[in-house]
A and B are shown apart, each in its own frame.
Chain A
Amino acid sequence: MKRTTILVAFLAFGLIGCAPILSQSNPPLVVDTGVDPENWALIPAGEFFEGQFNHTQTIDYDYEMMVTLVTNTQFAEYLNASLADGTLKVDGDYIAGYHPGEEFHAYEHEMEIPAGDYPHVPLADDSLRIDQSNGIFSARAGYENHPVVMVSWFGANAYCDYYGWRLPTELEWEKAARGTDGRPFPWGEEFNNAHVNAYFSRDPFEWTLGKAGDTTPVGFYNGQTYEGYQTIDSPSPYGLYDMAGNVWQWTLDDYPDQHYRYLRGGSKAEYEFMLRTWMRNSSGPEYMSPNAGFRCVR
């Protein structure tokens, strides 16, 4: 009897872990955060503290950064425009675009990226919340104001370039995220689940896909209460939202002898420590993830 009880308890735990995730096609909670994805914030020239050990750095020019991550709606509009004018093309299961290649030094473990077409977004991946109907792309219902994901670095770079903007460098990104006072999170020192979409942060979107959660609409953590879920207003010192959590954000830099591209800000699938403003993720530029998006600077 005892053995049976132990076995049943063990299997029950296992089954809890094996419980199927809800389909991504289930409509999510639809909310209007009131934060306009078309807005830009000015980050003034000057010194700031960079990295975990607060090294003083200077960016000697003003720049503007998108207040929110690029949304599914914005990216769908871009796909329609760029496919129509031939900037991008459908290449098998991907939408692809040309990249001029990068200098290669054959350093140990260095990636080789020759000139050619590279995938920007997958066409047949359910994680991309952009659907195609009669050749027209549109954001999936309920995900219009969520950040676009499953975009490679090539795709993110091309998007910004298409409009005459560019991806932020790591330094630009970090200054925009933490301002000039060396804070670890965009909103300050303390961490609370109501600040951010992180792993097991218990936001209303979390149980759609399990503990790693789902994306939250851009600007979700702005102090509003959504169907009883109270958020804390958590912009960066310059008024940017989602500079921690939700999705990783591609940055521009291409460092010698590696060609990895770096992502900043952490994501919905990360614990608190990875959301500190100086933490980095990296991968090859072709990496597409349900946890990675981007924003542009100009």
Chain B
Amino acid sequence: MQGVKERFNYLFSSTRGLSMVAIGLIALVSAVWGTLSGPLAELGVKEFMIDLLGMSIFQAEREGRMIMLYHSIAMAVVAIQVYFITGIISMKECERVKVNATVTVGYMMAMFFGLAFGYFGHNWIYHGLFITGQALVFWAGVLLAAALWPWRKEYYISDTAYARTRSGLDLERTAFFVVAVAMLGSSFFGAIAGMYYGNGFETFLAETTIREPHKTILQKSIIGHLHIMLALLTTGVSLVIGRWLDFKGIWQKMAMPLYIVGSVILTFGAWSVMVVEWAHTTIYVGSTFILLGALFLVIYGFGRLIRTGLEKRGLKKAGLFIRLAALVDDPLKFGSLWQMIFMNFTVSGVGIFMAVRLDEIIRVWPYRDERILLAGHWHILATLTATVMLFYYADLMGLQGRARKIFGWAVIIFSDLAFGSVTVFGMKRLFVDEASQQPTVDTLMVLADLALVIVLLALAAFLIWLLVDFFSKNGRWKKDVNLSSSQEVKA
């Protein structure tokens, strides 16, 4: 009985345990719901799964179902980010417990009841509890923002290696605070449209509206919401990675103001999409600030990885190849930075290309091709961000040695192969015409599917390793049971 209690405490009070539960649930949902589309659906697994689980699927509700699914997963991802932040940022223990407990109850309610409402019949109690869950996640965000309040004197810093004001205000903490507040505000833009659901607002996926020349305020609100939430989540993740790598020195001092100002401008730009034509210009400016901040993080991180790698080899100076070997020595840390670079090829680059060539190419393509490209780049950013979070979590869980290398490189190589293939698939109209595209499509899809399968197998192996440890009497989990989250992360 004591073992059960200890394990329960580990799962629902430690950063590692809470994150493991959320990652496990996301993996489970992805595994089951992934059969409803793509290659498994083509092979007939979809019908089998619908029958097996007794799902209630109606054609007219597809978009609504997908929105419930997105939010079910997104709430869990937000919760994981919250766990990471409460684990690495100083705050009172009671604040940490309140935030983590609230966000946990919230995301679980949103996930269970959201999926129940979307896929297993429209019991409106489920919908109410889904909304309640999201409201709790929002409230957890308010508590987190309050806990992060950077102007409390006890959180002022004196170490001049880190970005701070003259009075000692911690600019990294301020960046976390700004991102948290911006996410809270941005969530309203989805919630406001959702409030009209059943009262004039009709469910839609953003990509279905791209060619409507006159979009409604609520449509623009949703489009702004989905983009800014992902952008801010990604910004938050890069801040977590910065803390993981002990981001400091001149690069950090330049980056933190950029993160703060960029987040404010980007958020303002996304909100203003509803009312002004020049909102996109604001978004580009905000994005540029944040991307510059992330670039400085990558520069610092690469330098640090090289130094660490050389130290391991007992070297102070080395040639190019040894320095490169040192850079890639730890695939988890290298991967978290590399994915930020790779993102520019598959997301930012594609976005800029589309914006620049909009009237010459993209709007000339049939809508279906444009839709594939748009939906693709959003999903790639979301999944790339998830891989970065996984790298951090694998390190947090103490993945070491050969397993660390295999897991890290499998995720880097095959996720990038998958995302690269999907990006080329989205851009295919640039180099292959519709009549002769099928061999290209088949090749790219085989590459993407195969690569994703390998990434998912790597994730599955990692989760099995976690489970085996969890059921061991004296597993790694044991030492976290009596530690606070911050002690645990440091440990």
Binding site for B on A (CB under 8 A): 10, 13-14, 16-21, 24, 52-54, 107-111, 125-127, 184-185, 189, 191, 200, 209-212, 255-258, 260, 263, 270-271, 273-274, 276, 280-284, 287, 289-291
CA of A125 to CA of B450, assembled, Å: 34
Please state if A16 and B435 are interface contacts (CB–CB under 8 Å): no
Q: Which residue of B is nearest A291, CB measured?
A: B434
Known contacts being A109-B213, A276-B59, is A283 close to B443, with CB within 8 Å?
no
* B202 at interface, CB cutoff 8 A: yes
A-B contact pairs, 21 of them (CB 8 A): A10-B450, A13-B447, A17-B442, A18-B439, A21-B436, A108-B277, A184-B59, A185-B59, A189-B58, A191-B59, A210-B439, A210-B442, A211-B438, A212-B437, A256-B213, A260-B367, A271-B37, A271-B41, A273-B59, A273-B62, A290-B434
Known contacts being A13-B450, A258-B213, is A53 close to B443, with CB within 8 Å?
no
A108 partner, pick from B58, B213, B439, beta carbons under 8 A: B213
CA of A270 to CA of B58, assembled, Å: 19
For the complex, count residues of B whose C-beta is within 8 A of A.
Answer: 35
* B67 at interface, CB cutoff 8 A: no
Q: Which residues of chain A have C-beta atoms less than 8 A from B366's C-beta?
A: 263, 281-283, 287, 289
Interface hub of A19, A283, A284 (most chain B Cβ within 10 A):
A283
Q: Which residues of chain A have C-beta atoms less than 8 A from B363's C-beta?
A: 109, 111
Interface flags, B36-51, vs A, CB<8A=1, else 0: 0100011000000000
CA of A263 to CA of B438, assembled, Å: 21
Q: Which residue of B is nearest A125, CB measured?
A: B435
Please state if A257 and B60 are interface contacts (CB–CB under 8 Å): no
Please state if B367 and A280 are interface contacts (CB–CB under 8 Å): yes
CA of A282 to CA of B436, assembled, Å: 20
Interfacial residues of chain B within 272-324, with CB under 8 A of chain A in the complex: 277
Please state if A184 and B60 are interface contacts (CB–CB under 8 Å): yes
* B388 at interface, CB cutoff 8 A: no
Q: Which residues of chain B have C-beta atoms less than 8 A from A289's C-beta?
A: 366, 434
* B365 at interface, CB cutoff 8 A: yes
- Distance in angstroms from A280 CB to nearest chain B CB is 7
* B446 at interface, CB cutoff 8 A: yes
Q: Which residues of chain B have C-beta atoms less than 8 A from A125's C-beta?
A: 435
Q: Which residue of B is nearest A107, CB measured?
A: B213
Interface flags, B440-479, vs A, CB<8A=1, else 0: 0111111100100000000000000000000000000000
Given contacts A191-B59, A280-B367, 20 further A-B pairs with CB under 8 A are A14-B447, A17-B442, A18-B439, A107-B213, A108-B213, A108-B277, A109-B213, A127-B435, A184-B58, A209-B438, A210-B438, A210-B442, A211-B441, A212-B441, A256-B213, A258-B213, A263-B366, A270-B368, A281-B367, A282-B211
